[in-house]
A and B are shown apart, each in its own frame.
Chain A
Amino acid sequence: MIDLIIALLILLGSVVIFIAGIGILRFPNLLARMHAVTKVSSFGLLLLLMAINLFALNWGVFIKSIIIFFVLINLSPMASFMLAKVSKQIDEKRTNTE
């Protein structure tokens, strides 16, 4: 029974990351692409981490996966915010020179 839940979580997580990969190619501008990468991929990795915790049933893996989730939820939006500030700076510089 637990194998079926693990299989469902793995397939759902990889399909979510696949959809994020489509979004990075099809979305029109940089901010929409950043939205696809940051939120959707973090959700897919959360599903995969849940699958690993059900597979291992180990306290060390649980604590490590909580640290990975903390990094993905808190530090990855910070990096995306700095990148958005860079793109705003580049756009302002382009409009000033024209």
Chain B
Amino acid sequence: MNTEIILDWAVYVSLGILTISMFWPFVRLFTGPSMPDRVVALDQITLIIVAIILVDVIYSGELVFVDIVLVISFILTLGTMIISKFLFKSAKK
């Protein structure tokens, strides 16, 4: 009984920490000097969203969200690859 309360408070505190930590990649996204800086910042924002969904699995008890994390992690890496391919082509000219 007592340890479940500790787990609930750990989930609340970690959700707060993850929400605060989304602030710095957004600052880098708006003030980044070059285009790859912004891509790295978007990468970090998506990783933080994945972490929030993973904590939400423990908060809500629904194991379906693990599938969503699987799809989002594939889209994250493939999207970064495709954006860098596009930047490579446009920097060559």
Interface residues in A, total, Cβ within 8 A = 53
Cα–Cα, bound, A67→B74 (Å): 10
Task: Digitize A50-82: 1 where CB-to-B-CB distance is under 8 Å, 0 elsewhere.
Answer: 011001101011001101100110011011101
Residues of A within 8 A of B48 (CB): 17, 21
Interface residues in B, total, Cβ within 8 A = 55
Cα–Cα, bound, A52→B58 (Å): 7
| Interchain nearest-CB distance for A43 vs B (Å) | 11
Which of B55, B73, B80 is A68 in contact with, Cβ under 8 Å?
B73
Report whether A48 and B37 are in contact in the complex, using a CB–CB cutoff of 8 Å.
no
Report whether A45 and B50 are in contact in the complex, using a CB–CB cutoff of 8 Å.
yes
| Interchain nearest-CB distance for A16 vs B (Å) | 10
Report whether A78 and B77 are in contact in the complex, using a CB–CB cutoff of 8 Å.
yes
Residues of B within 8 A of A68 (CB): 66, 69-70, 73
B14-54 residues at the A interface, CB under 8 angstroms: 14-15, 17-18, 20-25, 27-28, 34-37, 39-41, 43-44, 47-48, 50-51, 54
**Chain B residues within 8 Å of A, Cβ to Cβ:** 3-4, 6-7, 9-11, 13-15, 17-18, 20-25, 27-28, 34-37, 39-41, 43-44, 47-48, 50-51, 54-55, 57-58, 63, 66-67, 69-70, 73-74, 76-78, 80-81, 84-85, 87-88, 91-92
